[in-house]
Amino acid sequence: MIQYFSHVDLHSFCVSIFKKIGYDSELAKQASDVLLSADLRGVDSHGVARLSGYVRLWEVKRILVDVRPSIIHETPSTAVVDGGSGLGLVVAPYSMNLAIEKALSVGSGWVSVQNSSHFGIAGIHAMMALPYNMIGIAMTNASPIVAPTFSSSRMLGTNPIAVAVPAGEEPAFIADFATTTVANGKLEIMQRLGQSIPTGWVQTKEGESSTDPNELKNGGALLPLGGDREHSGHKGYMLGSVVDILSAVLSGANFGPFVPPFPAYIPMPTFMPGKGIGHFFGALRIDAFRLAADFKKDMDLWIRSFRKANPKNINQSVLIPGDLERKMEIERKASGIPLLESVIKDLQLLGNKLGVEFPHALTIE
Amino acid sequence: MIQYFSHVDLHSFCVSIFKKIGYDSELAKQASDVLLSADLRGVDSHGVARLSGYVRLWEVKRILVDVRPSIIHETPSTAVVDGGSGLGLVVAPYSMNLAIEKALSVGSGWVSVQNSSHFGIAGIHAMMALPYNMIGIAMTNASPIVAPTFSSSRMLGTNPIAVAVPAGEEPAFIADFATTTVANGKLEIMQRLGQSIPTGWVQTKEGESSTDPNELKNGGALLPLGGDREHSGHKGYMLGSVVDILSAVLSGANFGPFVPPFPAYIPMPTFMPGKGIGHFFGALRIDAFRLAADFKKDMDLWIRSFRKANPKNINQSVLIPGDLERKMEIERKASGIPLLESVIKDLQLLGNKLGVEFPHALTIE
């Protein structure tokens, strides 16, 4: 059974929860904006469903709410931010704003972040650059569940990359993707449905190819984008590695197999070379390269050319990155955000514990 | 039959050819360095085998040798370079040097290039940043042979990305890969061998999955990294698109389906919104983020941790990006560069035409 909730109601609920754990109104709103944007854009795994996970991290003091992010080193176009063990949901907007400020001043800004935690969906941070006529870039490392080519060890996170590019009359181009073949959320859906999955998504704990969506739970690993060696999984491995290096080796965060886990019940790694998890943000001011008006005219042409490319199937034309999420957002703003029974139960319990009432559903399906 | 040639001899041959078409000694050497580095690193498709292709582009005046690259717009951390219709092999080092200069001054440098041509292997340009204790990034667009997800049209090039990261005691991390499942060169090898290829590499001109390596010649297309939709080919499509946008929409070069072809006998596109092909270069100064010594110590730990990851097969441990190419370079410096009979014939003809003697082989296999 699925119930639909107003995104405004869910946002208020999140704000109240974040205030209960100690954030002021502004930061509570910022964190809630990030969570709800995931739900609105259809990335259910990164929205309100994660709220109680963040609170549990605060309960065990892996997330601190009384320390603000701070700049520990900077140049005109770069900086390293110490997230102060804070919620990635507020460390990320702080850091992206810093990248934007630097881009306003010297053309581009690049901020590597240490001592942070899960920052929600990458896309929403990259999109912060759009109103400034900038290209925005956001990436993060994450706890290890991906095996590099030729290995059975979990060494990398799903390490997503987001790139947001402004256009003129067309909506912005927004790419946002994990550097694995499949997102963990999709795997969980297949597990629930009891369906087998295509090869190239996961491997067993011995490193064998598998079509069983439960292999990750059984000690197996996700495969990097591309899948096996024959299908160039080594390229996904390189891509995930670059994200890890820019986010964590460049900032002094934990990297590769040493990244701390999201679930609060999983023990921290016994050895940690850095602080928290790492992110990397970039902003490129368009008119630091060419007139923004000319760029946008060309982006419109780019987008329209791709939309007009011959479809394989008459019923499915080529999509521009961001199309599906934009459509989903319109739909969900109108009809509400669907939540699974288990997620609702979890949020109601959280509300009870912290004295915040969970909203009523709009409709039940 | 394969003959092996000294890389020094082949380099001299290239220098002489580039001088014959009008480059001075310095630029001729620079272009030859790029070509030979491809041969030494095992990227045979981008080395001396392409020399006569570049000369043919010069013959039809699609490449000009008397115009130097110039900066048409810049800020402290960014620039757009006009390649002057020059050889990408010399436009790229000029532009990468500019990115490095800017990174020395303000922490990072980003250069988007218009009006250029094929720049050889991406990796060698990114590696220029290493001696400066910088992370180097290089990418380029290319003529369209890749179909976006859901389409049968060729809309993108193989659009490679290279990222070079300095380490301490360990050799540098050097990722260099096309954003397609397979490189065109590998496809040509399978064609010659008459072997079928895995699914996910190419599609027919109608957009159907195929295992025939000849499909590209028959009007089909390469697939973006990931392959079909089920294996997340849309992520490769996004990645190739980002390369195209940074290289060409940001610089004012031709993008997507409008990028001019490499072979001089193929007519230019009837509509071209920009100038030539586009590249994008970046340099991030390590100590603009943290102490280079600390970073390198962590990179060594990163590299050693990945080398020690459990291998699936005891005979194949995990590779670090750049390992294979470094090994190949040592091997080929010692035993020579293998050239196919057809490539040798082509270079001998070129030498005869321009009055440059082609070197003798070291050994014949």
* Ramachandran quadrant class, B309 (left: phi over 0; alpha: psi -120 to 50; beta: rest): beta
* A289–B251 CB contact, under 8 Å: yes
Exposure of B20 in the CB half-sphere (CA atoms within 13 A) = 19
* B288–A78 CB contact, under 8 Å: yes
pLDDT at residue A95 tops 80:
yes
pLDDT at residue A257 tops 80:
yes
pLDDT at residue B147, as a whole number: 98
In angstroms, the CA B297 to CA B282 distance is 23
For chain A, the structural domain boundaries read 1-59+336-365, 62-181+223-321, 184-220
In angstroms, the CA A203 to CA B261 distance is 40
CA-based nearest residue in chain B for residue A161? B239
In angstroms, the CA A141 to CA A241 distance is 9
In angstroms, the CA B122 to CA B139 distance is 6
Residue B194 pLDDT grade (very low, low, confident, very high; cuts 50, 70, 90): confident
How close is the nearest chain A Cα to the Cα of B44, in Å? 18
- The residues near B291 (Cβ < 8 Å, ≥ 6 apart) are none
In angstroms, the CA B165 to CA B157 distance is 25
Chain A positions touching B238 (Cβ under 8 A) are 163, 175, 177, 321
pLDDT at residue A364 tops 80:
no
How close is the nearest chain A Cα to the Cα of B234, in Å? 9
pLDDT at residue B39, as a whole number: 97
User: Residue B212 to residues A72, A91, B204: CA-CA distances in angstroms?
Assistant: 55, 50, 9
CATH number for the domain formed by residue range(s) A62-181+223-321: 3.30.1370.60
How close is the nearest chain B Cα to the Cα of A178, in Å? 8
* B256–A311 CB contact, under 8 Å: no
Q: Which residue out of B182, B211, B231, B324 would a mutagenesis test of the A interface target, given it has the greatest number of A Cβ atoms within 10 Å?
A: B231
In angstroms, the CA B16 to CA B351 distance is 9
pLDDT at residue A175, as a whole number: 98
CA-based nearest residue in chain A for residue B102? A77
| B120, B30 Cβ separation under 8 angstroms | no
User: Residue A12 to residues A31, A93, B360: CA-CA distances in angstroms?
Assistant: 11, 19, 78
* B290–A110 CB contact, under 8 Å: no
Q: Which residue out of B71, B78, B165 would a mutagenesis test of the A interface target, given it has the greatest number of A Cβ atoms within 10 Å?
A: B78
DSSP string, A53-98: HHHHHHHTTSS-SS---EEEEE-SSEEEEE-TT--HHHHHHHHHHH
For the residues A237-247, what does the mean pLDDT come to?
Answer: 98
Residue A184 pLDDT grade (very low, low, confident, very high; cuts 50, 70, 90): confident
| B169, B188 Cβ separation under 8 angstroms | no
In angstroms, the CA A338 to CA A340 distance is 7
| B129, B100 Cβ separation under 8 angstroms | yes
pLDDT-above-70 percentage for chain B: 100
pLDDT at residue A363 tops 90:
no
Residue keyed to tokens 């709103």: A29
With a CB-CB cutoff of 8 Å, which residues 321-340 of chain A face chain B? 321
| A353, A347 Cβ separation under 8 angstroms | no
* B155–A309 CB contact, under 8 Å: yes
Cα dihedral value A309, A310, A314, A318, nearest 10: -30
In single-letter form, the type of residue at position B31 comes to A
- The residues near A242 (Cβ < 8 Å, ≥ 6 apart) are B163, B165, B175
pLDDT tens-place string over residues A23-40:
999 999 999 999 999 999
Chain A positions touching B312 (Cβ under 8 A) are 150-152, 206-208
How close is the nearest chain A Cα to the Cα of B11, in Å? 30
- How many helices and strands (H and E) does chain A possess? 10, 13
- How many helices and strands (H and E) does chain B possess? 10, 13
Chain B contact for A296, CB < 8 A? no
Q: Which CATH class is domain A184-220?
A: alpha beta
How close is the nearest chain B Cα to the Cα of A215, in Å? 16
Chain B contact for A95, CB < 8 A? no
* A311–B75 CB contact, under 8 Å: no
pLDDT at residue A22, as a whole number: 96
- The residues near B274 (Cβ < 8 Å, ≥ 6 apart) are A298, B114, B248, B251, B252, B253, B254, B255, B258
For residue A44, the SS3 value is: helix
* A106–B76 CB contact, under 8 Å: yes
| A137, B238 Cβ separation under 8 angstroms | no
How close is the nearest chain B Cα to the Cα of A17, in Å? 35
pLDDT at residue A192, as a whole number: 82
- The residues near A339 (Cβ < 8 Å, ≥ 6 apart) are A2, A3, A4, A5, A48, A49, A347
| A163, A137 Cβ separation under 8 angstroms | yes
In single-letter form, the type of residue at position A310 comes to N
Chain A contact for B76, CB < 8 A? yes
Chain A contact for B213, CB < 8 A? no
Chain B positions touching A177 (Cβ under 8 A) are 232, 234-235, 238
pLDDT tens-place string over residues B81-111:
999 999 999 999 999 999 999 999 999 999 9
Q: Which residue has the higher pLDDT, A142 or A187?
A: A142
CA end-to-end span of chain A? 6
Q: What is the mean pLDDT of chain A?
A: 96
pLDDT at residue B356, as a whole number: 98
Q: Which residues pair with B114 in a beta bridge?
A: B82
Residue of A209, A224, A211, A213 whose CA lies nearest to A189: A213
Chain A positions touching B316 (Cβ under 8 A) are 150
User: Nearest Cβ partner of B110 from A108, A148, A179?
Assistant: A108
pLDDT tens-place string over residues B3-46:
999 999 999 999 999 999 999 999 999 999 999 999 999 999 89
pLDDT tens-place string over residues A320-360:
999 999 999 999 999 999 999 999 999 999 999 999 999 99
How many residues appear in chain B? Answer: 365
How close is the nearest chain A Cα to the Cα of B346, in Å? 31
For the residues A268-272, what does the mean pLDDT come to?
Answer: 95
With a CB-CB cutoff of 8 Å, which residues 1-30 of chain B face chain A? none
Please name the CATH architecture into which domain A1-59+336-365 falls: Orthogonal Bundle (1.10)
Q: Which residues pair with A79 in a beta bridge?
A: A74, A111
How close is the nearest chain A Cα to the Cα of B363, in Å? 32
Residue B1 pLDDT grade (very low, low, confident, very high; cuts 50, 70, 90): confident
For the residues B270-293, what does the mean pLDDT come to?
Answer: 98
For the residues A306-324, what does the mean pLDDT come to?
Answer: 97
Residue B139 pLDDT grade (very low, low, confident, very high; cuts 50, 70, 90): very high
